[in-house]
């Protein structure tokens, strides 16, 4: 097992950057592949099973931190967002993330 920290760059996907995204759990992370415009949010963000809209992940140990993490992930330049739950956003993901993050009061 290898521990990762915020800002680490991993050797795949053209340099996947680790983004600390606590709230769902203390150690939650996202992975941003800036070269490809792809973001893996883990459980910090989800797509609603009802309508597919982007939403804050559920079952968070710290909602305030989760909202802050959502805003941080929404600030990244990305075209595709893949979630731990729900279908991905395959175009215009940054705009979808930012619009949803604003509804939670997150900067985005």
Q: Please write the tens of the pLDDT for every residue from 23-50.
A: 999 999 999 999 999 999 999 999 999 9
- In the chain the domains, ranked by start, together with CATH numbers, are 17-103 (3.60.15.10)
pTM above 0.85, yes or no: yes
- For the cut 60, the answer to whether the pLDDT of residue 108 exceeds it is no
**Beta bridge pairs of residue 20:** 29
Q: Among residues 57, 54, 49, 48, which one has the least CA distance to residue 21?
A: 57
In which order are the strands placed within the sheet that holds 38-40? 9-10, 16-20, 29-33, 38-40, 80-82
Arithmetic mean of pLDDT over the chain: 96
Q: Quick check: 105 and 66 in contact, CB under 8 A?
A: no
The strand pair at 9-10 and 45-47 is best described as: unpaired
């Amino acid at each position: 097992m290898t521990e990762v920290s915020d800002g680490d760059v991993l050797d795949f996907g053209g340099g996947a950057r680790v983004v600390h995204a606590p709230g769902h759990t203390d150690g939650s992370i996202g992975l941003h592949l800036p070269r490809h415009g792809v973001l893996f949010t883990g459980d910090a963000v989800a797509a609603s099973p009802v309508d597919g809209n982007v939403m804050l992940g559920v079952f968070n140990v710290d909602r305030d931190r989760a909202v802050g993490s959502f805003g941080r992930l929404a600030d990244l330049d990305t075209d595709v967002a893949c979630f731990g739950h729900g279908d991905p956003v395959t175009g215009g993901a940054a705009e979808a993330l930012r619009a949803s993050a604003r509804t939670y009061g997150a900067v985005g």
